[in-house]
Amino acid sequence: MPYNENEYVNLGTCNFEIVKDCMYLGKILTNKNELRPEIAKRITNANTAYCALLCLRKSHKVLRAEKVKICKTLIRPVATKKAEFWT
């Protein structure tokens, strides 16, 4: 059902404004139930985590096995947090 952005939904005595998207419990919810904004946010957060740890990843003093552990424990979970619900 198409609607204007300035419309309200009346439930009993309460009026709720219809919005395009909102953040609820750290998750982006859209009026079209899209996942693209949430996935883009996760990718941005993962890139931020990657760049924050770049000095460790470039260091020759840190072993390769340790660098892999850093990626698996600090970077990957940021990008895939609650990703099982995206299907």
pLDDT band at 6 (very low <50, low <70, confident <90, very high): low
| Of 36, 33, 37, 31, residue with least CA distance to 3 | 31
Widest CA span in the chain: 65
Q: Give the model confidence (pLDDT) of 12-42 as tens digits.
A: 888 888 888 888 887 788 888 887 887 888 8
Q: What residues pair up with 29 in beta bridges, in sequence order? A: 22
Residues listed for the chain: 87
pLDDT above 90: percentage of residues in the chain = 1
CB-CB neighbours of 42 under 10 Å: 19
CB 57 within 8 A of CB 70: yes
Domain extents in the chain: 8-86
pLDDT above 70: percentage of residues in the chain = 86
Given this model, what pLDDT does residue 82 score?
Answer: 62
Quick one: 35 exposed, middle or buried, by C-beta within 10 A (0-12, 13-18, 19+)? middle
Give the global pTM: 0.58
Q: Kindly state the DSSP code that residue 1 receives in the 8-state scheme.
A: -
